[in-house]
Structure 1
Amino acid sequence: MADSAFPLKQRLGGRSLYLVGMMGSGKTETGRPLAKQLGYSFVDADAVIEQVADCTIPEIFKRDGETGFRLIESQVLSAISKHHSLVVATGGGIVTKSENWGLLHSGIVIWLNVGQDRLLTRLEADPTTRPLLPKADLKSKLNEILNHRRRFYCEADLIVMVDGEAPDAVAVNILKLLPSLLRDPIPTQRREINSH
C-alpha cells in the first residue's frame, strides 16, 4: 500500500488530515495506520492537550469545566495546524466551535461516521472515563450529544461510514476515497462541475 499511496501523498501537497467523529468512533486507532500508509506523522490531539495541561482530560473538566477544556483544545488545534503532513485524531466536540473550522479546513476533514448502536456498544465496553458521557445515563446522553453534533460533522470534506471494519480496513478505505477530493488542476473552461 505504501507504493500506491506515494502519488496520493504528492497530490495532498502536505495537507494534514483531521479525523473527526464521536467518542468511540476509532479516530486514534484509524489514524495511526492511516498516517503510516501515507508516510505522515500521527498526532492525538487529546494526548497533546493532556501534555499541555499537565493533567488528564477528566481533571481539566473538573477544574475548568467544558468551557475551559474547549479553550485549551482550540489553542492546541491552532498549534497543530501550523504543521503539515499530519494525520490528527481530534476530540469529539472540536467541531462545535466555529473558530476551529478555519483551522480544520486548512487540511482535509474526515468524519468517521459510526452508527449509534455500534457506538453505544463500543463505549459500554470502553473503561475510559469520558466527562460528557456518564456510564449511568450513557444511551440517552450519547443520543443527545450525537443529535447536537451531527450537523457539524456533516461539514466534513469526506464522510466515511464505519460499520464493523477493523481500523486498518477503515484507513485503507479512506485512502481509496481521498483521490475523489484531489482532482488535478485543469483549465477552467474544461472543468466539469460535479454535484454531490
Structure 2
Amino acid sequence: MKNIILIGMPATGKSTVGVILAKLLGYDFLDTDILISLEQKRTLSQIIAEAGYDRFIEIEGNIGKNIKHERTVIATGGSMVFSEDAMKNLSESGVVVWLDTPVSELEKRLTGSLADRGVATPAEMTFSEIYEMRAPLYQKYADIHILCSGATENVVTDLKDKLLREKLI
C-alpha cells in the first residue's frame, strides 16, 4: 500500500495534517524530524548549531533515503527536498503532497528564531528567501499541490478527497 509523503515549509502543518490524515485513513504516521532527533540524540536546533547546515542536510537526506514503510503518512522536514536520493526513495514509495501555505501566514505561525525551531538555512536568509529557494523543489517532487490557507480540518478533508478521487491511495 502506498505511503503519503508530506513536503513543505516549516509551520505549514505537515505533522498536524499528517497525524489527522493517518488516523482517518488507518495509516501509520512518521515524522522525519523526530527520527533525526532520535538517531542523533539531539534536537534539530542542537544538530544545526553543533554540526552545521551542510551536515544537517546530509543527516536528513540519509534518514529520507532509508525509510522503508508502507501505509504510512510521512511528514518530512522542510529541507528534505535538498536530497535527491531521499526524494527518489520517498517518491517511489507513494504519493508526494506539497502542503503550501502563504509565507505571510507561516511567519505569523513561527515564534522565535528559525534556528531555535530547527529550520536548516544557509547563512542569514529571510523566511521569504528560504521559501523562494525551496518552492521550485517542492513543485518538482510534488504529485499533488494543496494550498493550506484554511483550517486544518479543511486541508485534511481536501487532501483526503483528492487522494481518493484521483485513486492515488
Scaled by the length of structure 1, the TM-score of the pair is 0.76
Q: Does 1:19 align with 2:6?
A: yes
Contact 1:43 1:89 (C-alpha < 8 Å) held by counterparts:
yes
Give the alignment's Cα RMSD to 1 decimal. 2.2
5 Å matches for 1:55-94? Answer: 55-80=42-67, 82-94=68-80
CA distance in 1 between counterparts of 2:46 and 2:156 reads 32
Q: CA deviation at 1:101?
A: 2.0
2:98 maps to what in 1? 111
Scaled by the length of structure 2, the TM-score of the pair is 0.88
| Corresponding residue SS for 2:110 | helix
Q: Which runs of 5+ in 1 are unaligned?
A: 1-13, 184-196
CA deviation map 1:5-36 (0-9, x unaligned): xxxxxxxxx11111000011000010001000
Contact 2:48 2:120 (C-alpha < 8 Å) held by counterparts:
no
Q: CA deviation at 1:122?
A: 0.8
CA distance in 2 between counterparts of 1:58 and 1:117 reads 23
CA distance in 1 between counterparts of 2:53 and 2:113 reads 21
Q: Does 1:161 align with 2:141?
A: no
Aligned residue pairs total 164
CA distance in 2 between counterparts of 1:108 and 1:121 reads 29
CA deviation map 1:63-110 (0-9, x unaligned): 211111112112211232x11110011000111222222112111110
Q: Does 1:96 align with 2:82?
A: yes
Contact 2:7 2:77 (C-alpha < 8 Å) held by counterparts:
yes
CA distance in 2 between counterparts of 1:126 and 1:157 reads 31
Q: Which runs of 5+ in 2 are unaligned?
A: none
Q: CA deviation at 1:168?
A: 2.7
**Residue of structure 1 aligned with 2:117, choices 130, 144, 147:** 130
Aligned AA for 1:74?
G
CA distance in 2 between counterparts of 1:71 and 1:133 reads 11
Q: Which aligned runs of 4 or more in structure 1 are off by greater than 6 angstroms?
A: 125-128
